[in-house]
Amino acid sequence: MSTTDLAFPLGPALLFCPADRPERYAKAADRADAVILDLEDAVAPADKPAARSAVAEHLAQAPQELLARTIVRVNPPGTEDFENDASALAASRVQYVMLAKAEAAEQVQQLQAKLPQAKVVALCETAAGVTAAEALAAEPGTAALMWGAEDLIASIGGSSSRLADGRYRDIARYARSRVLLAAAAYGKAGIDSIYADIADTQGLSAECEDAVGSGFAAKACIHPAQVETIRGAYRPSDEEVEYAQALLAEVPKHGGVFQFRGAMVDGPLIQHAERILQRV
């Protein structure tokens, strides 16, 4: 499996936008690499019908370039809202659908049966969803796995996903790691959860750097001000690019392990360098 297999083609910064605010759709897409039009948590129950109509109209009129960078988050399977969301999107050109509270491979199959033109981003945000991450990733229709902290903690009876200093609790870190490993094991992209404290740029930056270093292909966000911090973390420095290019230039000259700038280089380090250039 190459590092390219684990990439997410829409880019690293994915911005949520409430589906009941159609006046924000274009601005959100312009500010981020991709926009997630949210029919689930961001929309009050009474406003969901209007939100569905707005999304369907937008998808019908959007140019291909914008359509290719649009994800629609639908409500959880087994709910009336899920059925209504799928019906509203059935005749659309939507290319990516995020399945909220995904918990079983059969749910991905069910969604694809209704929307065969769309790839699925399975959102593992419950205890059942995290423990089913491997099965969800194994589905051919799954393009990526994302995890969510707050719904997960609520599903197991907790009250907060983070400690007082902003670090995730161990249970959230376990879920984050498990979802990423499951995605990678099946050649799918892993998407990191949102950072809710919009004003804490330093905390977001640190979490983005960890996401990049750990192997997440993208990170979701909830405010346009967070986009450039995410992009900055995924954008390799000039020094990183020079090192990766120079290292890869040496690979054809050697048949196996070799020494480069005082360090031993083998297969995994070559893949690290390839991933840096992929991010460029």
Binding residues for substrate: 73, 125
Angle value at C-alpha 58, between 27 and 52, nearest 5 degrees: 110
* pTM higher than the cut 0.95: no
For the segment 161-203, what is each residue's pLDDT rounded down to a tens digit? 999 998 999 999 999 999 999 999 999 999 999 999 999 999 9
Tell me the two tokens of residue 206. Answer: 């640190």
Pairing of strands 96-99, 13-18: unpaired
Binding residues: 73, 125, 151
For the segment 219-244, what is each residue's pLDDT rounded down to a tens digit? 999 999 999 999 999 988 778 888 88
Binding residues for Mg(2+): 125, 151
Q: Which domains does the chain have, with CATH numbers?
A: 13-235 (3.20.20.60), 240-278 (no CATH)
Tell me the three state secondary structure of residue 5.
helix
Instruction: Tally Cβ neighbours within 10 Å of residue 160.
Output: 12
For the segment 101-118, what is each residue's pLDDT rounded down to a tens digit? 999 999 999 999 999 999
